[in-house]
Structures are given as structure tokens and as C-alpha cells.
Amino acid sequence: MMDELKYILNYNQQLKDQVRVMIAKNKLKNYLLGKYKTSHNITTDKALYNYIDQFKKEYFKKSAPLTKAKFDSKIDIIHNALGTHHFISKVQGKKLKSKNEIYIASIFKNLPSEFLTMIVVHELSHFKQKEHNKAFYNMCQYIYEPYHQVEFDLRLYLTYRDLNGKIEEWS
């Protein structure tokens, strides 16, 4: 029973109990479809790069440019990764060149745009805040106000998916 809630283990008991009730009454899918109607059309690496770069230009103007962004089918959500960011520094002559790369799990190709925005904001926030601390999450919420709710709902979707498979309406 505890394993079915592995994505929300760190939430309070009352919330976990509410989710258990939703699962038992088969209401998780309806809850998610009621809030998130359709998927987005960002399905190529180029489109993803452009989408992320828009956020980067608006909120992280002074950081090193985004050099790569792509969907990655090798990112394993089971090991707590939905996206990754890489900072690569290389010495070229007398200069230090840095690269910023973001990889997003391929699962996000077929999920609602709110989920994609949430993970993009999360990975971009690592450009300024390396650790998952209060400043990091405040930055995420500043950039995308419903960040915390959307992250929680994504966790509910992952729970649903483990129990029932993907939601076909978003495919």
C-alpha cells in the first residue's frame, strides 16, 4: 500500500489519505483530466530548445547561454529524475567557456503543457540555485506561480500511471 504512494511519500498523512481515497474510488484520472485538458505540441528537440530558451531569456538573461535542450528517453523517472541539467566548463585558450544543457524526460512529450512548464522551470532554476533549497523553490514559484500545485499533480499522474497506465486523452 505504501509503494503506490512512492511519489508523495514526503507529503503529510492527511494528504496521502485523501489520495488513497481518490485511488480507491477511481477518481484520480477524473481529477487530473478536470484540471489538465490536453497535451501540448512541443514534441521535437528544436521546439523544446526554443521553448526553454524563451524562459531563459526572460528570467536568466545574465547566465551562460543555453547550448542544448532535448527530450531524453533514457531519463528514468523511477530513479527520481524527470529532467537533468548539466553545466560543462572547458578551458579554451585563456578563456573558460561554459555550457548549459537541459534534458527533459520523453514522457513530457505527451503530457499537458503545465507539466512541461513546471519541469522546464525546475531545470532552469538550477542555473542560479544548484541545491533544492528554499531559495530554489521560491525562484521556481516566482517564474511559474502554480509550480508547487503542478508538481504535486504531476506526482499524482505518476501514481496513476503506475497503477493504471498512461492517460490516453493526453496522447
Per-residue pLDDT tens for 81-90?
A: 566 665 555 5
What CATH number did the domain enclosing 105 receive? 3.30.2010.10
Find the domain containing 90 and state its range. Answer: 3-170
Task: Supply the mean pLDDT for the chain.
Answer: 88
Share of the chain above pLDDT 70, in %: 86
Record the pTM. Answer: 0.87
Distance CA 104, CA 98 (A): 20
Q: What is the pLDDT of residue 75?
A: 77
Per-residue pLDDT tens for 1-53?
A: 457 899 999 999 999 999 999 999 999 999 999 999 988 999 999 999 999 99
Instruction: State the average pLDDT over residues 130-152.
Output: 96
Domains in the chain: how many in total? 1
Long-range contacts of 46-52 (CB under 8 A, 24+ apart): 48/104, 51/116, 51/120, 52/102, 52/120, 52/123, 52/124
